[in-house]
Amino acid sequence: MAKLTIDDLKHIKEQTTKSTALRQGGARVKVTVHMGTCGIAAGARDVMNVLMQEMAEADRQDIRVVTAGCMGMCSSEPNVTVEVLDSEPIVYQHMDANRMRQVFRRHALLGEVQTDFALGKL
Amino acid sequence: MRELSLHILDVVENGITAGAHCISIQVEESTARDRLQITIRDDGRGMPAEKTRNLSDPFVTTRTTRRVGLGLSLLAAAARRCEGDIRVNTETGRGTEVTAFFRRSHIDRAPLGDMAATMGMLIIGNPHLDFVYVHRVDEREFVLDTRELKAELEGLSLSEPVVVQHLMESMRRSLNELASDPGKEKFKEDIDGQADN
């Protein structure tokens, strides 16, 4: 019966530094990927995948990634909402892998709203 | 949807919305019976059994925000295109089980696709829940059980992107092995190897 072997798990443990086991403080930034049926059909899983890769590289404890359902703007899916503490939430539309990278690096990390892809403020 | 793994992601999300703590996903492929079956079972709040009568109708939904629920309608359409169908067993307080079956070799049958990505996204988005994924192709089987993983990883949280990434890579390797047709040599390797048993 094929499973993840003990070696696979040991490999995972070795590759991950001890610092990832600690998580302190609250979140300053929340990124929501909308994963309703419309979002999934439009490619939200791949957007989420890229976001996860970026999160792994950035290794920031103050950014939280969550999934949510459909907001009702199905024709502009995949939608991603970025909320920075003390700023208004921004809804990004028609997201894809490249746009997600850009939005994460410029908005989530640096606080610069990417107005080209943004719907507007909620 | 382009891949069946996306339908699976969608239906599992339904289970999460229904308050499930543990969701099991079973994919069974039989070359002899030319059949592919997907079963998704959750321990959430379930639905009154009468609700299952028109579940593939997009205007029948338990959602309160909107009067349309697309997930099961799309899955039913995908299955029926391939001489298959869906079945839903549910009862209030007893969870829900969604089964979809397809003629495996049907030309319109979408590929199963990237199950590692689907499981990875489910795990990273819901580290407090448990998922069990069993994939059988004829006699070969792959199992992913987050309960076992959490026990093995002792303190490394499944909410860490790096951990889930490694998990996905391992899973892709194992699933690729599962998908390849068994030649005589491969069978012999399994007999001699016996590493996992």
Q: Does B161 touch chain A (CB under 8 A)?
A: yes
Reading chain A (122 residues) residue by residue, the pLDDT tens digits are: 456 666 677 677 666 654 444 444 578 899 999 999 999 999 999 999 999 999 999 988 889 898 988 888 999 999 999 999 888 899 999 999 999 999 999 999 999 999 999 985 55
Question: A66 to chain B, minimum CA–CA distance in Å?
Answer: 6
Note whether B158 and A49 are within 8 A (CB). no
Name residues 91-130 of chain B within 8 A of A (Cβ).
Answer: 117-118, 120-121, 124-126
Q: Does A66 touch chain B (CB under 8 A)?
A: yes
Q: Does B142 touch chain A (CB under 8 A)?
A: yes
Nearest residue on chain A to B178, judged by CA atoms?
A2
CB atoms within 10 A of CB B171: 22
List b or e across A13-47, with b for residues whose CB sees 16 or more CB atoms inside 10 angstroms. eeebeeebeeeeeeebbbbbbbbbbbbbbbbbbbb
Q: What is the pLDDT of residue B184?
A: 39
Quote the strand ranges of B14-158, DSSP E. 22-30, 35-42, 85-90, 96-103, 130-137, 140-145
Q: Does B162 touch chain A (CB under 8 A)?
A: yes
Please indicate whether, in this complex, the C-beta atoms of B196 and A8 are within 8 angstroms of each other.
Answer: no
Which residues make beta-bridge pairs with B39? B26, B99
How much is the ipTM here? 0.82
**Which chain A residues are Cβ-neighbours of B118 within 8 angstroms?**
45
**Which chain B residues are Cβ-neighbours of A18 within 8 angstroms?**
none
Q: What is the pLDDT of residue B118?
A: 96
Q: What is the pLDDT of residue B194?
A: 45
Residues contacting residue A42 through CB under 8 Å, at least 6 positions apart: A77, A78
CA gap A84, A81 in Å, rounded: 10
Q: What is the pLDDT of residue A22?
A: 41
- What angle separates helix A6-15 from helix B161-179, to the nearest 10 degrees? 150
Note whether B162 and B55 are within 8 A (CB). no
| Residues in chain B where the model's pLDDT stays below 50 | 183-197
Query: Model's pTM, two decimal places?
Result: 0.86
**Which chain A residues are Cβ-neighbours of B165 within 8 angstroms?**
52-53, 56
Q: Does A6 touch chain B (CB under 8 A)?
A: yes
Q: Give pLDDT tens digits for B134-167.
A: 999 999 999 999 999 888 887 677 888 888 998 9
- What angle separates helix B115-125 from helix A44-58, to the nearest 10 degrees? 60
